[in-house]
């Protein structure tokens, strides 16, 4: 693989806007990206309706807690993988 080859991941994000449903996005990945970086990309380039919380970006504050593939995880510490499902964390 050369440095010009682009890698992408497909994710599913739950959105509660009007008609609540999963939305699927394909995101170009540059090296190893975390889920927070992927959500930022979606919000900035594909769908400004995607919202999320974050603060410290270092795994300390817990603001970016989400249900990622059914488990409570911090988006800033979780590596983005193809096929992941992202939901709001309901336990806070």
Per-residue pLDDT of 39-86, as tens digits, reads: 999 999 999 989 888 899 888 888 999 999 999 999 999 999 999 999
Q: What is the pLDDT of residue 5?
A: 57
Q: Is the predicted pLDDT of residue 35 greater than 80, yes or no? A: yes
Q: Is the predicted pLDDT of residue 4 greater than 60, yes or no? A: no
| DSSP calls for the chain | --TT--EEEEEEEEE-SSS-EEEEEEEEE-SS-BHHHHHHHIIIII-TT-----SSSSSSS-TTEEEETTEEEETTTSBP-TT-EEEE-TT-
Task: Say if 64 falls within a structural domain.
Answer: yes
Asked if 89 and 64 count as a contact pair (C-beta separation under 8 A), the reply is no
* CATH number for the domain that contains residue 77: 3.10.20.30
Task: Say if 2 falls within a structural domain.
Answer: no
Task: Say if 13 falls within a structural domain.
Answer: yes
Q: Read off the pTM.
A: 0.84
Task: Say if 1 falls within a structural domain.
Answer: no
Query: How far is it, in rounded angstroms, from Cα 80 to Cα 40?
Result: 12
Query: Mean pLDDT across the stretch 14-26?
Result: 87
Q: What is the pLDDT of residue 46?
A: 96
């Amino acid at each position: 693989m050369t440095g010009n080859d682009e890698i992408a991941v497909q994710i599913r994000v739950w959105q509660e806007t009007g008609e609540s449903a999963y939305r699927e996005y394909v995101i170009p990945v540059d090296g190893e990206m975390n889920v927070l970086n992927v959500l930022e990309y979606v919000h900035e380039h594909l769908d400004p309706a995607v919202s999320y919380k974050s603060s410290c970006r270092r795994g300390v504050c817990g603001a970016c807690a989400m249900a990622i593939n059914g488990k409570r995880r911090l988006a800033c510490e979780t590596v983005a993988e193809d096929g992941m499902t992202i939901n709001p964390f309901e336990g806070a």
